[in-house]
Homo-oligomer: A and B are copies of this chain.
Amino acid sequence: MRLIDKPVSHFLDELASSAPAPGGGSVAALSGALGAALISMVCNLTLGKRGYEEVQGDIEDLLAQAEALRKELTDLLEADVAAYTAYSQAAKLPRETEEQKAVRSEAMQNALKNATLVPMRIAEAAVKVMDLCMPVAEKGNKFAVSDAGVAVLMAEASLRSAALNVLINLGTLKDEAFVAEKRQQLDSLLAGKGELRDQIYDYVAARL
Chain A residues near B (Cβ < 8 Å):
2-9, 11-13, 15-18, 20, 23-24, 27-28, 30-31, 33-34, 36-38, 40-41, 44-45, 47, 66-67, 70, 74, 144-147, 149-151, 153-154, 156-157, 160-161, 163-165, 167-168, 170-171, 201, 204-205, 208
Contacts of A168 in B (CB 8 A): 145-146, 208
CB contact under 8 A between A16 and B30, given known A5-B9, A164-B205, A167-B146: no
Copies in the complex: 2
- Of B20, B31, B144, B201, which is within 8 A of A34 by CB? B31
Excluding A12-B70, A16-B38, A160-B201, 17 further A-B contacts by CB distance (< 8 Å) are A2-B9, A5-B8, A8-B30, A12-B37, A12-B74, A15-B38, A16-B41, A16-B70, A17-B40, A20-B45, A23-B41, A24-B150, A149-B161, A154-B157, A156-B157, A164-B208, A167-B205
Which residues of the other chain, B, contact A153 by a CB distance below 8 angstroms? 31, 157, 160-161
Find the B residue at minimum CB distance from A162: B150
The list of the 7 closest CB pairs from A to B, nearest first, reads: A24-B150, A16-B40, A18-B44, A157-B157, A167-B208, A16-B37, A15-B37
List 10 A-B pairs, Cβ < 8 Å: A15-B34, A15-B38, A16-B40, A20-B144, A146-B164, A149-B164, A150-B161, A156-B157, A160-B201, A164-B208
Contacts of A8 in B (CB 8 A): 3-8, 11, 30
Q: List chain B residues, Cβ under 8 A from A9.
A: 2, 4-5, 74
Contact A149/B24 with A67-B16, A74-B12 known, Cβ cut-off 8 Å: yes
Q: Give the CA-CA distance A34 to B180 in the complex, in Å.
A: 31
**Alpha-carbon separation in the docked complex, A31 to B28 (Å):** 11
A139 to chain B, nearest CB (A): 16
